[in-house]
Structure 1
């Protein structure tokens, strides 16, 4: 029976996934567009690189391909030049000796220039914009955008609105700083472009450290972020600044073949000549090939006025460097590489004239990747052989949206990876979110999506924890029967569920890495297993173990366990010790906890237990050393001998506590609670108490989770106690007020009420203050109140309260 092929969504062949046929059987050559390193990485980058990493891991560890993964670092381009140059100019400006008035005038000039360039609705002819009238103009011009509406019409807000909010944020900060006479750092964002407009041509770019200092620090941060997200490092990393001579040679060859031309020191790719030569341009996005805004974005903001091009869509291979820009020598004069050419040169240098996969974010499809394809195919084409194929499969990752707008550095509407990992995500939870969406679809993270991802993680976590605790208990009781999954015998029950899950997941991954379906298959298998265990008393733990091991393998392949390594043969999240950690040192906290527990139990006078002495004297060291000698580096397994001893001691104390004296009973209960809630919780161990004198189950759960749960429980108890005390005090106050009121004789009850003017011998009002009779409707109420007061007064008197 023929094996189904792996199929990929290929941007070069829009539509259904197509069969994947690598150039060399069993091997995959892959070039991925890496970051432009001028700022911290954000969740949009995480979406791209984590999704890429997931596909790479599946190819390597599920389909067993040998993947040569190459990624570039763009360490020089227009954005880097602008940011580095502006930072240098701002540093120089801050060193100048300005009077407070001069600083204020500088800030005001920058304030007005920033508004004119970016927020034109703030500018009114003949009326100067200042920090004093800024708020009024902001709310009048852009109030509806700030309220969440679109700039015009009734559409949804998007990138334009995000950009407006970013600019307003910069103006807000500057306005406050100017009002407070604190120009630095509050006005930095508006000063940066203003100073650049004044002094950019004065910067000496022969000293390129202003650029390299920025890019090297940002590249280091990028790698740290990727490591934190468990993204595998590339096999090869290339950097633009290390490839400039090769780029010059590459461009020269394209020129020599008639597919590029020089204009005033810059070199442009000639799209017309390329197409006349029988080649196809804009193979990825032919529908937007004439989009001027995308073309301009691809050229960069510094690429204006470099010379007249032959065709409107022609793009720069080499740019003449203007004053204030870095430069390298070339046959056309001092200049620098165009953006697109870098990837063509570096990818071809490492992978040759053809590659299996090229990938990047969907926003790179045009013009970046279309231009890459054109210039590379121009370089390698041989007219006698027809059109050259440089890339076989183009994979484009969907971008991440926030409030309907693409997350980007330029819009400053992003959360950095560092901040996200510190506040709202773990590396695992973030990867789960991306796994639950298709890699080539756009993703907008919503509360519902986060909830689904959290529920998936909790369900799988609990399954791993419970399975390991059941297996540990069974192992302590003499082990479980080994399970063979080989042979032709039809699978039933849990094994049938496992086989179906394997089949379904394989089909999902063959279908262009359909991870949302794969995640659902895993969840369904765990749910089915949990239901089976609940409904069947005699469960074969070997079958549960087989399911846990398979799920462990898949989540390991997906990169959900940073500590796991191929072939992912364990159960649950890995707890392997690193090579430089001594096992005895690693389990010292567990050993010390057991020693402390023993000492505290020995200090008590426990009676009625035949086994406590033996439990206190048993030594887990031999069992621990046997595990070490067998080569185990699993911290949980190594800790189990000590934890079992502690748990058995506690179980025995719970068994005999009811037969102890009152004082000993109190001490024992406090100790058993402390062992569970303090000693072991602090080590990331939870003792799950069971009825009918069954031994407690030992469960490994992250200490932070257990401690948080403990603190929440304590906080709830404290709140309950607080409310109880408040209720007691309120009741006490109410009772005291009733006693004080009861001291008043009924004859005096209404005498102080100014509404009445006459009373009878019992003290009941007969006349109102104006001399009229008390209405009959009031007389009944007054008599009722008088009787009640009489009863209360006499009751208090009888109790000696008077």
Structure 2
């Protein structure tokens, strides 16, 4: 349609309402009014012609319609061009939606109840703490990390004013008994007993221990005691042989047995001489030492400092052993991936899942930071959103809602982490699609997602420090300074390396390419730097923990070795097959059946069998089958002869 700016007659020419509105919407896509820059008589007449609200999808026509509807109708004394007064349209509050409330499991009612503090937003929380008489173990870690997670979520996510108090028991029957046992065992060692005396005492102490083992019904405790008994039994053998042969006592054998049998030996010593201990200082020194170790363990696990009150699980893995294989973050993630009130599976699969989750999330953070470091002008930071960005942003808000609902549901961190994992997966898919299309991803959107995930992991206690995005690199508190300091130099190095690789490929200088690969694969990982070469795109530079990179390099080398081994094995099998085929080709057709005397007894002049081993004539079916084999061998043999002739 050819529209006349000062005429709305084109609307009168359209009889169908839907088409009329659609045409008007198109006309108003670049205009505010039908005529001029203010409400006119033409606008009023067109408004009267439509006489009903317009569909939401026609945004331009709807905008015009609402604006005209909000203006007072003109009086007789006004001209069409006179300025009308604006009248506010009627308003009513939105209906809104139900807001999720925090529900916590009530052990009294055994149901999830709405959490309501007694006094406004203030939460007073008392938690039973450790009895400090020995090293912390996984049971302690589970308890204190889980409560630390709950406290952080209540305080930092739900914004409650939490006063958290935990007691440390430093006077207790267990502490008194353990102090006596340690003291008596130390005194026993200082007396330097002979090997035969040690052997006799351990065997004596083992008798009540065996009785205790037989009476134990708890499966976990029984398994622990059985392992202890097996270790003592293994240490007894060498010393018994030494004593029986009257050989000189082996100090190492003595120490091994004393170490393995210290629990049952100290228990026996306490039953014999515990009442004679008068050194009272041991009862304060022991809890003081282990309380200090407890605080060190909690600091290593990133458990927040607590208000402590002093009072006057049989997991065999101590925290120092666990933290040798897992980082504090990985251990916390393992706990986050389980319900805080359920029994935790301490298997290798659980710990491996935590490691993989950390690696998955960390890789996303590294990719986003790499994108944010890419040079761009100020306008490049505010890209127009296409359908992909709109879809990802929609999913982002849906996942945030799901995380919130999960935390409201008895602080279900397991479901929350799965929703966060799904969000990262969708973000990775988006980045991969943009990379394949050679298009830059939307920086602001990815930054928003990364900031949200970082904030949630900080809330859970899995990230410590002030860095805005991702896990710390180079120790807590050093990440921001480290990245801002070294990244400019690493970027220059990466660009220089890329230029060298380009020239080396053009000039076909393989030695330079090898050196560039060596820099990427061997040198920089030792410094905690990962370079990722990408076809058609600049090399990605990422700061990663040195240990992680070295482990990745080891795994990559292992995979390459396995691949090489498989390739060599395939080549060997292929060679064997070729050799077998060649050996078969060398057999003359006239000789192929003559060696099978257990099957055939008579042959014609060509070597073809005529009778079986019993002298009976071959059936027609069998003869036909053998004839096919004979002809196939004849063909192979001719090929062999042909190849030898060509070779000569």
The change in CA–CA distance for 1:214 and 1:734 in structure 2 (over 3 A counts) is same
Q: Deviations over 1:713-769 (max 9, x none)?
A: 333333232222233233334444554555555555556555466655445566777
- CA distance in structure 1 between the partners assigned to 2:524 and 2:572 by the alignment: 38
Give the secondary-structure state (helix, strand or coil) at the position aligned to 1:39: coil
Does residue 637 (structure 1) correspond to residue 484 (structure 2)? The answer is yes
Larger Rg: 2
Q: Determine the C-alpha separation between the residues in 1 that align with 2:229 and 2:639.
A: 75
Offset at residue 704 of structure 1 (A): 3.5
- Residue 173 of structure 1 is matched in structure 2 by 231
Moved more, 37-46 or 540-549: 540-549
RMSD value over aligned CA atoms?
Answer: 4.5
Mapping 1:224-235, distance limit 5 Å: 224-234=296-306
Is 1:726 aligned with 2:569?
A: yes
Is 1:559 the equivalent of 2:402?
Answer: no
Aligned residue-pair number: 522
Report the equivalent of 1:87: 182
For 1:200 and 1:747, the matched residues in 2 are separated by 96
Q: Give, in whole Å, the separation in 2 of the partners of 1:742 and 1:761.
A: 21
Distance (Å, rounded) in 2 between the aligned partners of 1:90 and 1:690 = 63
1:44 lines up with 2:102 in the alignment: no
Report how far residue 528 of structure 1 moved: 5.5
Q: Distance in 2 between matches of 1:168 and 1:540?
A: 60
Q: For residues 5 and 733 of structure 1, what CA distance do their matches in structure 2 show?
A: 71
Q: Any conservation in 2 of the 1:176–1:186 contact (CA below 8 Å)?
A: no
> Closer, same or farther in 2 for the Cα pair 1:750/1:678, shift >3 Å?
same
Deviations 1:118-146 (A, max 9, x none): 4159xxxxxxxxxxxxxxxxxxxxxxxxx
Aligned equivalents of 2:196, 2:487: Cα separation in 1: 72
CA distance in 2, matches of 1:667, 1:221: 54
Structure 1 residues 437 and 480 mapped into 2: Cα distance closer, same or farther (>3 Å)?
Answer: farther
Q: Which shifted more, 186-195 or 32-41?
A: 186-195
Provide the residue aligned with 1:201 in structure 2.
275
Question: Corresponding residue for 1:419?
Answer: 321
CA–CA distance in structure 2, aligned partners of residues 529 and 749 of structure 1: 66
Partner of 2:517: 673
Unaligned runs of 5+ in 1: 122-150, 152-159, 241-341, 343-407, 484-490, 582-631
* 1:111 CA drift (Å): 2.9
How far, CA to CA, are the matches of 1:56 and 1:456 in structure 2?
23
Q: 1:779 to 1:187 in 2, by over 3 A?
A: same
How far residue 60 of structure 1 moved from its aligned partner, in angstroms, is 5.0
Question: Where does residue 649 of structure 1 map in the other structure?
Answer: 496
8 Å CA contact 1:174–1:190 kept in 2: the answer is: no
Unaligned runs of 5+ in 2: 1-92, 94-98, 241-256, 383-388
For the 8 Å contact 2:588–2:634, the answer to whether it is kept is yes
Do 2:451 and 2:469's aligned partners in 1 also have CA atoms closer than 8 Å? yes
Flag the 1:453–1:188 CA change in 2: closer, same or farther, 3 A.
closer
Match of 1:192 in 2: 266
- The Cα offsets for residues 452-504 of structure 1, whole Å up to 9 and x where unpaired, read as 7566545533332222111111xx23356778xxxxxxx97666666666677
Q: Is the 8 A contact 2:101 2:114 kept in 1?
A: no
Question: What is the match of residue 218 of structure 1?
Answer: 290
Q: Secondary structure at the match of 2:552?
A: helix
State whether structure 2 residue 149 is matched by structure 1 residue 77.
no
Find 1:472's aligned residue among 347, 360, 373.
373
User: Residues 363-411 of structure 1: CA distance to partner in whole angstroms, max 9, x if unpaired?
Assistant: xxxxxxxxxxxxxxxxxxxxxxxxxxxxxxxxxxxxxxxxxxxxx1xx3
Conserved in 1, the CA contact under 8 Å of 2:117 and 2:123?
A: no
2:78 is aligned with 1:20: no
What TM-score results when the alignment is normalised by the length of structure 1?
A: 0.55
- Indicate if the aligned counterparts of 2:102 and 2:114 stay in contact, CA closer than 8 A: no
Distance 2:638 2:104 in 1: 93
Q: Once the 2 structures are TM-superposed, how far is the Cα of residue 680 of structure 1 from its aligned partner?
A: 3.7
In structure 2, distance between residues paired with 1:769 and 1:548 = 81
Aligned twin of 2:469: 571
Deviation at 1:45, TM superposition (A): 1.1
Secondary structure class of the residue paired with 1:695: strand
SS in 2 for 1:119: helix
Instruction: Show the counterpart of 1:164.
Output: 222
Instruction: Provide the residue aligned with 1:373 in structure 2.
Output: none
Distance in 2, Cα, partners of 1:673 & 1:18: 58
Distance 1:729 1:504 in 2: 55
- Aligned 8 A contact 1:576 1:634 in 2: no
Alignment of 1:54-133 (within 5 A): 54-58=149-153, 61-62=156-157, 70-94=165-189, 104-120=199-215
- Asked whether the 8 Å contact 1:688–1:697 carries over to 2, the reply is yes
Distance in 2 (alpha carbons) for counterparts of 1:753 and 1:517: 70
Task: Tell me, in whole angstroms, the C-alpha distance in 1 between the residues paired with 2:347 and 2:258.
Answer: 37
Query: In 2, distance between residues paired with 1:754 and 1:518?
Result: 75
CA distance in 2, matches of 1:4, 1:762: 92
How far off is 1:77 after superposition? 1.6
Residues 332-343 of structure 1 aligned to structure 2 (within 5 Å): 342=312
1:227-266 matched pairs, under 5 angstroms: 227-234=299-306, 236-237=307-308, 239-240=310-311
- Structure 1 window deviating more from structure 2 (449-458 vs 413-422): it is 449-458
TM-score normalized by the length of structure 2:
0.66
- 1:30-54 Cα offsets, whole Å, 9 max, x none, are 5543321222212221122112322
The DSSP-based 3-state class of the residue aligned with 1:696 is strand
Q: Measure how far apart 1:199 and its partner are.
A: 2.0
| Alpha-carbon spacing, 1:671–1:71, altered in 2? closer, same or farther (3 Å) | same
CA–CA separation in structure 2 for the residues paired with 1:738 and 1:521: 58
Q: Where in structure 2 are the equivalents of 1:317-332 lying within 5 Å?
A: none
Provide the C-alpha distance between the structure 1 equivalents of 2:300 and 2:397, rounded to a whole number of angstroms: 34
Match of 2:329 in 1: 428
| Alignment partners' CA distance in 2, 1:194 and 1:653 | 73
1:714 matches 2:557: yes
More helix by share: 2
Change (3 A) 1:464 1:727: closer
Give the superposition deviation at 1:555: 1.8
Larger RCO (CA within 8 A; separation ≥ 6): 1
Counterpart position of 1:34: 129
Question: How big is the shift at 1:542?
Answer: 2.0
State how far apart, in whole Å, the 1-side matches of 2:641 and 2:127 are. 93
Native 8 Å contact 2:167 2:308 kept in 1: yes
Conserved 8 A contact 1:8-1:20: no
